[in-house]
Structure 1
Amino acid sequence: MADKEWDLKFADVELDGNTFIVNSQINYKDLEKDHKDQIKKLNKDSQNTLKELFAKKRIKEEEVNNISKQELIIFFDTLTGKKPAPAATVAATTSTERAAYRDVDVRDDLKNKFDVRVDERLEIKSKHDGEIAESTISGLLRVMNNGNKNRIWDIDIELTDSEKTNLEEKKIHILDLDPQEDWAQDYTIDVKEVKTPLQIEEEINATPEAEEASQTFVLNQEHEPLFKIILNNTSEAAINDIELIKDIPSVFDKLSNINESIGKAKKDGDKLRWEIEELNSGQSATLEFTMKITPDGKEPISSGQIEVKYSILGNTFSGMDVDYVDGYTDNIYYVDRDERDEEPDVWDCKFIFKNRSEFPIKLIDVDLRAGDYNTEEQVVDLGPQLDPDVILNPGEEWESQSWSIESEDLPKFGKNVQFTIIGDVVNQLSATVMIEPIEMPVFSLEGKKEFSETEIASYRETEIVATTTVNATGSASVEKFHIEDKVPTHFIVEDTEKVKITVNGKELDHSKMSFSFKPSQESEATKTMNIDVEGILDQVGPLVDEATIILTYPLKAVNPVVGDEIEAGVLFQAITEDGSVIELLIESPLTELVIVQVRRRVTDGRIIQQGRTKGQYNIIIIHKNRGDAAEVNKVFEEIIPENFSLISANPEPEKAGDKLTWTFEEIKPDEEIEIEFTIEGSGDYKARDAQKSFRG
């Protein structure tokens, strides 16, 4: 016959000795969903036992230790509506186990002032995309006597799963701790890869009204960007006391539309503060808000740093835990021995233990023997009365059931009393995460227009090339170009098929371009050539930082007149996918184009003089530019006659066999130049050959 039975709505439960037998109609997931708060009060062993018992919808058996046995009795009593016995205990153990700390207080009235803390701290600096740039992990094992009057002595601590730390000893002994004294040991943690329990993501959309998200602002245009921060708990434990602080750069104003899925967010000066008490395992939280900004410069806009602090109770990064803690403090215990009135030499005895300290005490075992403790004769076994263990608050006492003994003399007992103060073991991971801001570009356009020539002759047909270069800073999803290009008086664009537009060197599809002129294309008056280009996104994708757009086409001058006013400005518009227009106006070309009256008038002369010796001749070439325009790259060439050799020349010519060449980069109007060289004949030379001029 079972020791205890529970008839639950979803299961039949029996206890036979230390074995629980469960015939369940639900699994553990359903059990946890309906009784989460009660399960949280159990220690880890008891929770694992429940997972096994309710793993599947069938009969399961699990043997448990005394600790889990008592906790699960209370658990199933609670589910059936029974009140736990007032002497319910935290844990029960044999003298060899000595486990004294409690994961959860079963008695809510325990007044504990003895703490053992495993505090681990994770500090992370991460980039905006979540990549960890820098991380440090440190740990602190701390034992604290938070009492005000009683000393704690003979403290023993045993650690488990400390392999990832630099702690060499798993067993720690502390001689004593006075009131308000603590003992601490720093340690380091060695992990190959740091993974944060709380994933943090920030999404920023400068143009939330558009179909495609963008992190680019347009110069001198008002924006109301949408900020979205997402927190996701990827750990197996709840994350507590989350505090997120978002810096608000001074370029933003009018923080509004704050919407948080859980917790509370509010503006605090130049920061936005979001606080969440608890985020359960697998749970996400979202914060959305908007701000306004009108960029007045091309400097990138900082999104603002994010700092997140949080803690996880019952969890450590290293996995280290405290296996047990025990210690001693002020106490008193004794045995009452009352001789019976009607039965001399028969004694009624009772063991009494008083907690005279300010700490909760757990009474583990009492071994009473006749005479002194070294005798093998055990008088009474109080063990069954201490199962479950007795826990006493400060000032409380415990009395055993009485027993009788016959003795002519006053009975004497050897006593071995095992007890410990109860320590709260708190494992906690605290984290601080700093997320770097991103620099969001401001989209702007700069450009120039140039001509391939600086001067063209009047009354002549001359072809030059017009080039407009536009440099885009920032990123934008540009769908269209609209260009209004001024064509000067007496100039025409003969063939629009020769108009070429490239983006970062890639030529755009000419079939996606449309052209119009006002007035007509053939008019010699100043006119505007309108160019519209569709499908930019499909052809080259979004314009990214430092994109270069180049427009080139041939421009033909038709009988230009000196004094013509050259109007050649350009209006360039980049139209984004959401309809925003980014505009660049180039009022005048970088190259000044001048119409000049070019009429060529020159004078060329040649002087032959006898040299210093017989057979030598000095030749002087004279050239004067009498025109109204400079001569550029003017070339003079001479051939040394047969049987003559060059003696000297000024300036020095280029020589190629008998050929002499002089090149002048520029001969200005009214400028005269002279070339002088000396030749000398030998053998059968003819002096008249020196009279010949080759080319000049």
Structure 2
Amino acid sequence: MGFKCISQTELKIKSGPNYIGVPLRFLEEIKQETEYKTTGIEISKSTDQISEISIVNNESLEFLFDHQMNLKSAEGYGTISIVNNSYKDRIWDARIEILGSNIENETNLRIFEPRTNKNIRYSIEALDDLQNPLVIHERIEILNEEIKSYKDIEQISGIDHYDSILEDGEKRYLLLFGKENLVKFTIIIENNSNSTIKNINLQKEISKHFYDIECISDSQADIKTKGNILKIELPELNPGQKRNVDITAKIFPEKKERIRTGAYNITYNIENSVISETEIINFSAYSHAKHLINVEEKETQPNHWDCSFLFANHSDFTMYLKSILITDESKSENYVDLDLTTENNKIILSPGETFTTQKWEVFNENEPKFVRKISYSLDYSIEKGTDVSIKVEDDIFEIIGFQFEKDISQKEIKSFEESELYNKIIIRNTGDVAIKGVVINEIIPEDFKPPLEISQFKLKKASGEQKLENVDLKITPPNDEPSTEHTLELILNLKENQVTQLIGINELLEISYPIKAISPDYNKAYEFPLEISCYYLKNKNQEKKEEVDYYVVRHRLSDMQKPTLKVSHKRRNLAIAKEIYPGRYDDEFAICVTVKNKSTIEIKNISITDTIPITFELISSNIKNKVTKSNKENEYVISFSVESVLPFQEKEIMYYLKNKSGKDVSFSELESYFIG
């Protein structure tokens, strides 16, 4: 027991002003008496100031999650603080019993001086198994019309349709390169506990690349922006209540660089609850109290004694009695046996209050003596609270994009004639994500035949020609009848269980295939609409999975990009004339062959053949010629070749002959041998 300085006034009690003993308050004027209904005991009450023993159990937890909400690290500890709030009274033999922590079940805290406290710190174990009372989830959506999920488009021909997001899949966030993207961040906060969660503070980082940032909450949240940090405060969240915070922002990727989705932190408090299973089972302590047994011999009955038990609370604390047992010296007879631990029998004494039992009578020639055992403790209050801090790491946005072009091997073909053309399509990957597969859709107009065999297609990369593996071809209708329009659909690298990527980062793919023109009409305008669909894996680790989800980006060939194909209606109109002139001598002749192109098209590779009687020899010619023996006797053959004559152009061939025999030869003889 402790000692303290007591004034003379404090030593006064009801039985006499100068009684020296355990300190009691002077309660003569303010004492009130009430009868204890079940036992007839008396409790005298006081209005003295009450101090208390307060026990505060507070837990602090910190969690770190990756962007998929997988727990990376967790740290938690708790503090149990026992505080003596009295300004003058000590407490002693203080003991606390704790369940569920990694400390001893019962701890002896010994003595507390006035206005002091003692702390018990414990670590929280098995944090992975704890249920987080606040469930947090961030959903990121790219609100771009050009990026479609596989489930939003028609099923690819010949490819099974999968649309399950795998549990172990790591979702991709894709931005279109060189275009404005609208991104929506939705942070969902839900109270999954039975307690009210208060002081919810959310901080979300927004990359400096974003602009036109807007934040909307479905509750009266306080939203503030500081730099690239968005701060959102929610006063409280009741059990089962959910709140959404929507953030929209625009971004225009101009470079292939790492743009982060933005980490976020959230802190909150839980009142009157701890997350761990730590529980304070009991606290007991003692302070200034007095208990005594009054024995008074009856006036008219010698050796008959009226006895009563008194318990007085002399401290600033509220006390409660647990049990009172009073027996004779031999412990064979119980005079008072009170169990005060049940709720109905509980006796609580405020500072200055006393408790008196009902009297019992004893016959004894001497002053009676008793054995007594008293159990009591100080009342206390328990406060609980939990402070939680959660940090969620961010992910990255990946840049996707592709460019493509188309070329036709011939820019002009003749009307109503067969021509074979070669389509060449080049697709370049301009993003930083590999293209998993490609679907080419092209309309082949009437008067043209589409290719029906996969072997007619060629795939080429910078490394060389590629094997025609994992390629599907569909022609609709399934024939090459030129009288009807056809749809060509070429599917590359999208078969089930195909793990390779089709077009890597910074790679290009060239696809070429033939198209045959069958009697094209120059009065028609022929177009070959082309659409390219590039498929990207929705989840980062899906390459080896049987079920695969895709993001799909489709681009159509614009009018500016379409190659021109001209069908020309051109017919050749060629006139070849021959004139014979006398030479310088009677035995010489000058022959002029005129080639005139009277059409609107260029005429090429014109061959002209003339015959020369064997009696003549060639003297000269203005163009290259060739003289050979004829199959017929008595003549030679002279041949000329004109490479090209442009529309409405005229070319002359002049050559000179001389009679070797000296005989006369008529003009008609020379004319009859001309072929042109």
- Report 1 or 2 for greater relative contact order, CA contacts < 8 Å, sequence distance ≥ 6: 2
| Higher Rg of the two aligned structures | 2
**TM-score, normalization: structure 2?**
0.49
Task: Select the structure that is richer in helix.
Answer: 1
